Structure 1
Amino acid sequence: MKPSPVPEHEHRIVLQVVQPGLLGLMDGSVSTLAPLFAAAGLTGNPHSAFLVGMAAALGAALSMGLAEALSDDGKLSGRGHPMLRGSVTGIGTFLGGTFHTLPFLIPHLGLALGLASTVVVLELLAIAWIRYRYMRSPLGATVVQVLVGGGLVFLVGLTLGRLGPG
């Protein structure tokens, strides 16, 4: 069964705002996991992990925002103004990398890790829902894809965090 056609204004919003924002959320949520959890494991210090997480979130936001803005002027593809897409991607990346970093403001490492892990799962489920809602991806498949991908990166961070001194 073919999905119903998308109205032009909704199609434009998906191309110019939702897709760049989703790209940012996914990258921010996933790419910052490994350094954040590795730093927590290596240092045993929630404050140090917080600083690494914020550095990763800010660095990824700048990188992804610039990459999106410079990748396409939007004229040929119809994806809209590059500064809008780059800004949306950068903000999405920053938010995606920040939410699971904030628990490391808690001075107790075990509590911070537990809370951050819960936040990661909620972030990944939100990403799956956005993919389902706006990109019309099958909900079950998108939940599995997002959770497996995020879980693998999460495990990389935990594993490398345990290989350090200690």
Structure 2
Amino acid sequence: MTIDTDLEATDIPATRGMRLLRVRNHDDFLLRYVQPGLVGLIDGTVSTLAPVFAAAIFSGPHAAFIVGMATALGAGVSMGWSEALSDNGKTTGRGSAIVRGAVTGLMTTIGGTFHTLPFLIPSLHWSLIAAFIVVAIELVVIAWVRYRFLHVPMKNSLMVVTLGGAIVLGIGVALGAS
């Protein structure tokens, strides 16, 4: 249906109808792009912390870079595939499974890649410092997206996201130091 048909069929004045359409489009945007992207970004950022930091502490920055990129790319494919296969979009109204899968996979890969890049620095000390800074920025970005689109208070979002990241980071550091 076109926009005009929808508005005529409901007998809603045009201005109110446009507001309803914007809300519907906003909800569709959240379900089809923001939510799958946020799931991917959180998963890519948090789940790759343990292997990257364990590899860095155990074997050095080069190993951390290789493990981090393998983990980010593998997780991106896995998460994208899982999202695309989990729902055809027709029953839930979440849109194209291929688009959601691509968004989730891409954002998972991005989430795992940024804190891996500092391990191109040959010094373990400086690469760890840079990676910690990047992780902090990633967690703030995740909290901001939750605040902006899901209306979760920034303070609450930062606490929850940081707690999850700290737990996984602690696992990686503990395993890397063993």
1:118 maps onto 2:133 in alignment: yes
1:69 maps onto 2:84 in alignment: yes
Deviations 1:80-139 (A, max 9, x none): 000000000000000000000000000011100010011001101100000010011121
Structure 1 partner of 2:111: 96
Structure 2 partner of 1:9: 25
% same residue: 53
One-letter amino acid matched to 1:110? H
Per-residue deviation, 1:156: 0.7
Decide which of 27, 30, 37 is 2:53's aligned counterpart: 37
Deviations 1:50-90 (A, max 9, x none): 00000000110000000000000000101100000000000
Aligned Cα root-mean-square deviation (Å): 1.0
For 1:143 and 1:48, the matched residues in 2 are separated by 30
Return structure 1 stretches of 4+ with deviation > 2 angstroms: none
One-letter amino acid matched to 1:11? D
Query: Which of structures 1 and 2 has the bigger CA Rg?
Result: 2
For 1:41 and 1:140, the matched residues in 2 are separated by 31
Higher RCO, Cα 8 Å, sep 6+:
1
One-letter amino acid matched to 1:64? M
Structure 2 partner of 1:60: 75
For 2:155 and 2:129, the matched residues in 1 are separated by 25
Per-residue deviation, 1:159: 0.8
| Superposition TM-score, scaled by structure 2 size | 0.87
Deviations 1:9-68 (A, max 9, x none): 11100000000000000000000000000001111x211110000000011000000000
Structure 1 partner of 2:153: 138
One-letter amino acid matched to 1:150? G
Q: Which runs of 5+ in 2 are unaligned?
A: 1-19
